[in-house]
Chain A
Amino acid sequence: MPIKVQIPQAMRQHADGQANVDLAGANIKELLDNLGAKHPNIVARIFENGQVRRFVNIYLNDEDVRYLDNLQTATKDGDVVAIIPAVAGG
């Protein structure tokens, strides 16, 4: 079973319109690198100077990776990774 990566609405135009992309990867970094290899234009929307952009959060099974091992957080089959930017509208 692959790892499901959920793409936010604002970034889908860079992922062929897909809401979810199934990927493999031993940790968050590998997973997002694999996402970038498939959909190169999404990389700049998630990363800036090699870091996750400061208004974008990465959640692994509804946990914020910043209190886990950040980009080194290990992933396994069946995990769900959500990329969620801050929501500004009101």
Chain B
Amino acid sequence: MSEFKIEKVDMSKDPSLERYSRQMRFGGVMEKGQRKLLDSRVTLCGCGALGTVIANSLVRAGVGFVRVVDRDFIESHNLQRQVLFDEADIAANLPKAEAAARKLRVINSGVTVEAIVTDINRTNIVELAKDVDIILDGTDNFEIRYLINDVCVKFDKPWVYGGSIGSHGQTMTIIPGQTPCLRCVFEAAPAPGEAGTCETAGVLAPIVSIIASFQVAECIKILTGQPETINRELIYVDVWENITRRIKIAPLLGKVDCPCCKHKKFEWLEGEQGSQTTSLCGRNAVQVAHRVAAKLNFDELASHLKLMGGDVSYNRFLLKFTVEEYEFTVFPDGRAIIKGTSDLDKARVLYAKYIGH
């Protein structure tokens, strides 16, 4: 007695579609929608808790091209919620994007997964965004989200915001010109330490799955060409306090004096917002970015560091070394995450001392 039209799919014509048969039987997708998914391209910004759940679902759903962008490496405290990683990835010292891509390619060899290990900033965001249909947010900070928002409004691309912490999370879908943008709803980023981070406030895996799953559902609606079905509210869920809210935000469009979508001022993309050296909030770590223009030679750097008394190990993706009370993770593009300090100046000094400039 289903209201949905049941479409008979003749798999003998195209056996490659068999793995998607249950999704195609769903009236909202069908064979037409599935073919659109297979022809679609997505950039996923950030592959941590939300990002791994999103990437897993997108690849299983048969989204034809998924670009996974992440700046980080895997630590044991990620495994509680970052579903694509395991202990072997930590032992192999893999960056998150690379470890995720390896899993995803095993899950579905019929789609293309591109891994990019980089810090998303205004110099590379256009390149990462321009050749895809939609951007999904798996980041953990508002600097990058405002950058995504700028790019998407400027180039008229949809994106889906998601955030989660503790037992609660939020998500909203942005279709430029049709819905309020992120800056219409949240005018400014929380100051460091103000909003809490997963490191300070903790996070439960179930809220991550819920928010990420909302994001994927929105993505499937848009990619199958049904933007009229998207969620136009700000969804807020708390799995511990049993709260589900749907906040009406549509009237904010045009009502608030948004610098981004109303005045087309792209302050994060074109301005001087954002910095090369960033404190990774709550982690007692600092990222020092892109001091070195050329690709680092890990063989040379490793022997230099050993002479300086450091404990060094590396593969082609990252180099780790421990010296004094600091743990460095260095990427081939010259970027480093220095654990053991939250002091930006101290981190710059350490970088100059051990890695150079």
Q: Which residues from chain A sit less than 8 Å from chain B, CB to CB?
A: 9-10, 19, 53-55, 57, 59, 62-64, 66-67, 82, 84-90
Per the bound structure, the CA–CA distance linking A87 and B197 in Å amounts to 9
**Chain B proximity of A74: nearest CB distance (Å):** 17
- B50: which A residues are within 8 A, CB to CB? 90
Per the bound structure, the CA–CA distance linking A55 and B187 in Å amounts to 6
Q: B140 and A89: CB pair below 8 A?
A: yes
Q: B165 and A87: CB pair below 8 A?
A: yes
**Chain A proximity of B173: nearest CB distance (Å):** 15
**Chain B proximity of A72: nearest CB distance (Å):** 15
Q: B165 and A62: CB pair below 8 A?
A: no
| B 226-247 to A, binary, CB cutoff 8 A, 1 in contact else 0 | 0000000000100001000111
**Interchain Cβ contacts under 8 Å between A and B, 6 examples:** A10-B195, A53-B188, A64-B185, A67-B251, A86-B163, A90-B49
| B 338-351 to A, binary, CB cutoff 8 A, 1 in contact else 0 | 00000000000000
Q: B189 and A89: CB pair below 8 A?
A: no
Indicate which residue in B138, B195, B248 contacts A88 across the interface (CB closer than 8 Å).
B195
Q: B189 and A55: CB pair below 8 A?
A: yes
**Given known contacts A62-B246, A62-B248, A67-B251, is B241 in contact with A89 (CB within 8 Å)?**
no
Q: A55 and B256: CB pair below 8 A?
A: no
- Which chain B residues in 240-266 approach chain A with CB under 8 Å? 241, 245-249, 251-252, 255-256
Per the bound structure, the CA–CA distance linking A50 and B142 in Å amounts to 24
A56: nearest chain-B partner, CB-CB: B190
Q: B48 and A87: CB pair below 8 A?
A: no
Q: Does B196 contact A (CB under 8 A)?
A: yes
| B 160-182 to A, binary, CB cutoff 8 A, 1 in contact else 0 | 00111111111000000000000
**Given known contacts A19-B241, A62-B245, is B164 in contact with A89 (CB within 8 Å)?**
yes
Q: B190 and A9: CB pair below 8 A?
A: no
Per the bound structure, the CA–CA distance linking A75 and B139 in Å amounts to 36
Per the bound structure, the CA–CA distance linking A3 and B229 in Å amounts to 34
**Chain A proximity of B111: nearest CB distance (Å):** 23
Per the bound structure, the CA–CA distance linking A9 and B202 in Å amounts to 12
- Which chain B residues in 189-222 approach chain A with CB under 8 Å? 189-191, 194-198, 201, 203
Per the bound structure, the CA–CA distance linking A64 and B252 in Å amounts to 8
Q: A89 and B197: CB pair below 8 A?
A: yes
Indicate which residue in A84, A88, A90 contacts B236 across the interface (CB closer than 8 Å).
A84
Indicate which residue in B142, B168, B169, B247 contacts A59 across the interface (CB closer than 8 Å).
B247
Per the bound structure, the CA–CA distance linking A68 and B330 in Å amounts to 50
Q: B252 and A55: CB pair below 8 A?
A: no
**Chain B proximity of A2: nearest CB distance (Å):** 19
Q: A87 and B163: CB pair below 8 A?
A: yes
- B187: which A residues are within 8 A, CB to CB? 54-55
- A57: which B residues are within 8 A, CB to CB? 185-186
Q: Does B46 contact A (CB under 8 A)?
A: yes
Per the bound structure, the CA–CA distance linking A90 and B167 in Å amounts to 12
Q: B251 and A88: CB pair below 8 A?
A: no
Per the bound structure, the CA–CA distance linking A87 and B141 in Å amounts to 9
Max count, chain A CB within 10 A of own CB: residue among B46, B138, B252: B252
Q: A55 and B168: CB pair below 8 A?
A: no
Having A54-B187, A87-B195, one finds 18 other A-B pairs with CB under 8 Å, namely A9-B166, A9-B168, A55-B186, A55-B188, A55-B190, A62-B247, A64-B185, A64-B248, A64-B249, A64-B251, A67-B251, A67-B255, A85-B190, A88-B189, A89-B197, A89-B198, A90-B46, A90-B141
